[in-house]
Amino acid sequence: MTTNRSPWIHQLTRTDPFPSLHTDIKTDVTIVGGGIAGVATAFFLLTETDKNVVLVEAQQIARGATGHNAGQVVSYFERSFADIVSEFGLEYAGAAQKSIEDSWVLLDQMYTKAGLTIPLSRFLGHAGFSSYEQVISHLKDSACREKAGLSLESFRISNRAAYVQKIPQEYSHLYECVEHDVIMSLLETKDPSFSAVLSYQKGCLNSALFSDESIVYLKNTYPERFSVYENTAILKVVLKKDHALLDAGVATIDTGKVVLCTNGFETLTIFNESGLDIDTQFHHDVKGTIGYMSGYLEPMNKPPTAISYFTNPDASTLDPYFYLTRRQYEYEQGSVHNLISVGGPEVSLDDKKSYSRDLLYPESEQKNIDTFIKTIYETDPNREIDYKFTWHGLMGYTPNLIRRIGFEPKNKVLMYNLGCNGVGILPSVFGGKRIADLLNGDTSTTIFDPQ
C-alpha cells in the first residue's frame, strides 16, 4: 500500500494559506468549495458582475477532485450523446454539447485574464474501441451530432475488423476504413485487439495549479470585493426567503446567495424554511466513486497525448475504461520529463462519508494499472516501472450523469455548480460562467438546470 500522492499537488507552490473565518460577515454571494468549480464560479462572478463574493474551503484550495484527477481537458459527457438526445431532445442536448465544447474559450479567457503561464497542451486525442457494439454506439452518437449541427469527429475503423460488412449503410459517411497498422499506431499500442479509433480535440492541464494560481490572481485583483477563507467548513446552510445563513463553526456568513461547489454534499446540512426536504433529496442524489491513478516519468522524447482504451470488448463505452495521458512535467524545478499517468479502476462507494483523501492506495489497483501499461502501452513488458505517484480522488455522480448547475427550484437563494462525474474540468468552468449569467438575469433553460 502507498500513500495518496498526486503529481498535481506536488507542483503547488503557494506557501501562505488564506486565513480561516473567525468573525461574522455579510456578503452578496458565498461560494462553498475551492476546487475548479468554485474557482471558476468566483472568476466569472468577479469579472462579469458587481457582486461581493466570499469563497470558503473546508481544507485548502484545489486539494479535492481538482487535485486528484487525470487532468485531461475533454468535452464529452459520461453518457452517450444519443442517450442524452433521447432524454432531453435534439435541441437541448445539442446546445449542452456545444456549450461544453465552447468552454475551451472560457478556459482561454481565464488563462489570459489571470496571465497564467502554466502548461496547457492541446492536441488531437484518441479513444480505441475493441467491439462492434462500441463502434455502433459511437456511430449512433455521430449521427445525432450531425443532426444537431455539431462538428463530426474523425472515426477510423480497421479494414480487418470482422464486423465492417455489418455496419448499417446509413452510417457509411461517418467513418473511414484504414489499414490496421494505422489504428495501432494512433493508439500507440502493440495490442492488435483494437479495431477502431475516434480522434478529437483534447488537452491536459494541472487543474490544481490552474485553480490555485487563478485564486491568487482574483484575490490580488479584486481585494475590495473578494475574500477567501481556507480551513473553514460550512456545517449548515439555513435558507431564508431572500438570503441564507451559513454556519462556519465559530462564525456565521449572512449571504444573499450561496453556490455549492462541493463536488457532492457530504459535509453539510441544508435547512430550508419549509424543512429538510432539499437536504434529504440531495444526500440521496450524488453517488460517490473512487478513481485510482498511477504515474511515472520518462525522457521527454514524445509529444503530449491523451488516449482512452476500451480494452474489454464486452463492456459498453459507459463502463470504466483505462485512460492514459502523456505530458510535459516538471518534477524537480528546472528539470522536465514526460509524465505518463494512467487511470481506470473505479470503486463505488455506498456512502461518500467513507471516503477520505488519506486512504492508502490499494496494491490491487496499482497492479491493475501496471498490467494495463505493460500489455497495452509499454514496449518492454519486463520493465520495472518506478511509479513516482499513486493517487485517488472522489467523483460525484448525479443520477442522470449530468452536472447540476443553477438555482435550486425550491429556494432560489441556493445555487449549485456540482456533481462532477469523471469529466468535470470544462463543465466546472462552464458552470462558473452559467452561474454569473443567471445572476445577471439570463432566463434560458438547459439540461444542467436542477430539477
Ligand X SMILES: Cc1cc2nc3c(=O)[nH]c(=O)nc-3n(C[C@H](O)[C@H](O)[C@H](O)COP(=O)(O)OP(=O)(O)OC[C@H]3O[C@@H](n4cnc5c(N)ncnc54)[C@H](O)[C@@H]3O)c2cc1C
Cell of 109: 479567457
Grid cell locating 176: 473511414
The least distance separating ligand X from the CB of residue 56, rounded to whole angstroms, comes to 5
Cβ at position 168, least distance to ligand X in Å? 32
Q: How far is the CB of 246 from ligand X (least distance, A)?
A: 9
Residues at the contact surface with ligand X, assessed by CB under 6 A: 32-38, 56-59, 63-66, 68-72, 74, 207, 233-234, 261-263, 267-268, 291, 293, 343, 393-395, 418, 420, 422-425, 428
Q: How far is the CB of 268 from ligand X (least distance, A)?
A: 4
In terms of CB distance, is 304 or 422 closer to ligand X? 422
For strands 236-239 and 244-247, give the pairing.
Answer: antiparallel
Q: How far is the CB of 193 from ligand X (least distance, A)?
A: 24
Helical axes 425-439 vs 90-101, angle rounded to 10°: 110
CB of 334 to ligand X, least distance (A): 27
What is the Cα–Cα distance from 291 to 4, expressed in whole angstroms? 12
Those residues with Cβ within 8 angstroms of residue 117's Cβ, 6 or more apart along the chain or in another chain:
none
How far apart are CB 136 and ligand X at their closest, in Å? 25
Q: In terms of CB distance, is 168 or 399 closer to ligand X? A: 399
Q: Which residues contact 13 (CB under 8 A, 6 or more apart)?
A: none
The residue among 159 and 281 lying less far from ligand X, judged by its C-beta, is 281
Instruction: State the residue for C-alpha cell 456565521.
Output: 252
DSSP string, 358-369: T--B-HHHHHHH
User: Closer to ligand X at the Cβ: 195 or 262?
Assistant: 262
Nearer to ligand X, 182 or 233 (CB): 233
> Which residues are 26's β-sheet partners?
254
Strands (E) in 211-359, as ranges, are: 226-229, 236-239, 244-247, 252-260, 269-271, 287-298, 305-309, 322-332, 335-349
What size, in residues, is the chain?
451
Closest CB to ligand X among 37 and 436? 37
- Comparing CB distances to ligand X, the nearer of 42 and 167 is 42
Nearest to ligand X by Cβ — which residue?
A: 424
Could you tell me the smallest distance in angstroms from the CB atom of residue 425 to ligand X?
3
State the CB neighbour count (10 A cutoff) for residue 178.
17
176-185 contacts, C-beta under 8 A, 24 or more apart = 182/156, 182/158, 183/128, 183/156, 183/158
Least distance from C-beta 188 to ligand X, angstroms?
Answer: 18
The residue among 40 and 157 lying less far from ligand X, judged by its C-beta, is 40
Task: Tell me if 37 sits within 8 A of 431, measured CB to CB.
Answer: yes
Q: What does the alpha-carbon distance between residue 111 and residue 337 come to, in Å, rounded to a whole number?
A: 23
Q: How far is the CB of 306 from ligand X (least distance, A)?
A: 8
Residue in 380, 92, 63 with CA at minimum distance from that of residue 215: 63
Q: Based on CB atoms, which residue is closest to ligand X, 71 or 128?
A: 71
Q: Which is nearer to ligand X, 224 or 350 (CB)?
A: 350
Q: How many helices (H) and strands (E) does the chain have?
A: 11, 19
